[in-house]
Amino acid sequence: MTNTITALLLGDIIGTSGSRALFIHLKDLIKKYKADIVVANGENASDGFGITPDLADQCFTHGVDVITTGNHIWQKREILSKMGETDRILRPENYPAGAPGKGHCLVPVKEWTVAVLNLQGRVRLSNVDCPFKTGKSIVKRLRNDTPIIIIDFHAESAEEKEALGYYLQGEVSAVVGTHTHVQTADERILPKGTAYMTDLGMIGPSASIIGFNREVALQRVITQLPIKMEVEESPARITGAAVVIDAETGKAVSIERIELQSNY
């Protein structure tokens, strides 16, 4: 199909292991899926918490077009000035007014424009503004510019993620979740033409507990002590989805789950 674009949507980048795997394999993934735009969640890229300007620049250099984030974006304060320089590093749109940065951007792709919107859930996360009302309002505005709209919904609850997918189906091209670091196998096209997946997973160490050191994570769970999590250092897997979108209508044509085990 000539009037389509392919979006490569990747899960949370976790620490050095995840960043290394992304930088090594991204060009091959772009080539394999003929991706026109790459969106990756970078909120855990720097030691598992936040992202630095240098890491963001490296992501862009290696082929990422838009970096989405979530609740950990604020943990590397130096990224705030970088967010003021580019609209390609997003924070969730539904943080209250006055929060630094932007929650959406427009990206030229071939002869079309793609909108990327970042939202955050409220179940077991901060009590930010309503992602449903905020999402509906921003999507209405974005549709004046383009029918091709991709949403990264950074949320804990599968129920909340599915609810947003159905709430905005037909108005956006894709609603994909991030945050849990566990890839789900429920990728599908909703009845009104929106691609949906509860969680893209992560770009992070395979031999880990959601990307973090197993011994430390086990100790936290068993003792219930607030021990600081540490990123595991082991070969990473890359997970996400490739979504083909009809550029004229903004409807999703297909969604394919991606998983690649790296040797690095």
- When pLDDT is averaged across residues 5-33 and rounded to a whole number, the result is 97
Kindly state the DSSP code that residue 2 receives in the 8-state scheme: -
For residue 183, give Cα distances in angstroms to 72, 111, 210: 19, 32, 10
Residue 105 reports pLDDT greater than 70: yes
Average pLDDT, the chain: 96
* CB-based contact 11:21 (threshold 8 Å): no
Q: 85-94, 205-214, 250-259: which has the minimum mean pLDDT?
A: 205-214
* Tens of pLDDT, residues 145-180: 999 999 999 999 999 999 999 999 999 999 999 999
pLDDT at 55: 97
* CB-based contact 200:240 (threshold 8 Å): yes
Residue 114 reports pLDDT greater than 90: yes
Residue 1 reports pLDDT greater than 60: no
* Tens of pLDDT, residues 64-79: 999 999 999 999 999 9
* Tens of pLDDT, residues 246-263: 999 999 999 999 999 999
Structural domains of the chain in order of their starting residue, each with its CATH number = 4-207+234-261 (3.60.21.10)
Q: What is the pTM of this model?
A: 0.95
Per-position DSSP letters for 126-182, written without gaps between them: ---S-HHHHHHHHHHHHTTT-S-EEEEEE-S-HHHHHHHHHHHBTTBSEEEEESS--
Q: Is residue 25 flagged as an active site residue?
A: no
* Tens of pLDDT, residues 222-249: 999 999 998 898 999 999 999 999 999 9
Q: Sheet containing 174-178: which strands, arranged edge to edge?
A: 104-109, 112-120, 149-154, 174-178, 195-197, 188-189
* Tens of pLDDT, residues 22-63: 999 999 999 999 999 999 999 999 999 999 999 999 999 999
The residue annotated as part of the active site, out of 25, 72, 154, 179, is 72
Percent of all residues in the chain with a pLDDT value above 90, rounded to a whole number: 92
